[in-house]
Amino acid sequence: MQIWKKTFTLEQLNQLNRNCAVSHLGIRFTAFGDDWLEAVMPVDQRTTQPFGLLHGGVSAALAESVGSMAGWLCADENQATAGIEINASHLRPVKSGEVTARATPVRLGKQLQVWDIHLRDQQNKLCCVSRLTLSVIQHG
């Protein structure tokens, strides 16, 4: 079942996220389906901690970026979404390459949305599981 209420292309999503934390971290929206949105992020000097591993806080930033964008795409034209809670369980370290985050909805309510976001490494191994709660707010 198609969940998107806004019409979009991946190019438009990437343009919208220029000149902010999303582009600073190298996050790019790369794929979507009827009920999921994906983005990739490099594991490099922008996204690692001092010991060369993907930074847990940056993993959470990727998860929130993908989940928040997916939530916004599911909201009515006069609505936006804002994160109110996120958690992340880091399951395995990542040292290089890219990670891919896929957001899928748990609940799409009129006032709250809940999203599951799974981060996988280039070998498709699960490295982080995150849950994001969004508030749906009136905008404009």
List active site positions: 64
By the 8 A CB rule, do 39 and 100 touch?
Answer: yes
List helix spans (H) across 1-140: 10-16, 21-24, 56-74
Distances (CA, A) of 68 to 74, 93, 139: 10, 24, 15
E runs forming strands in 33-125: 37-42, 79-90, 98-108, 112-120
As a whole number of angstroms, the distance between CA 74 and CA 140 comes to: 17
CA pair distance 100, 120, nearest whole angstrom: 5
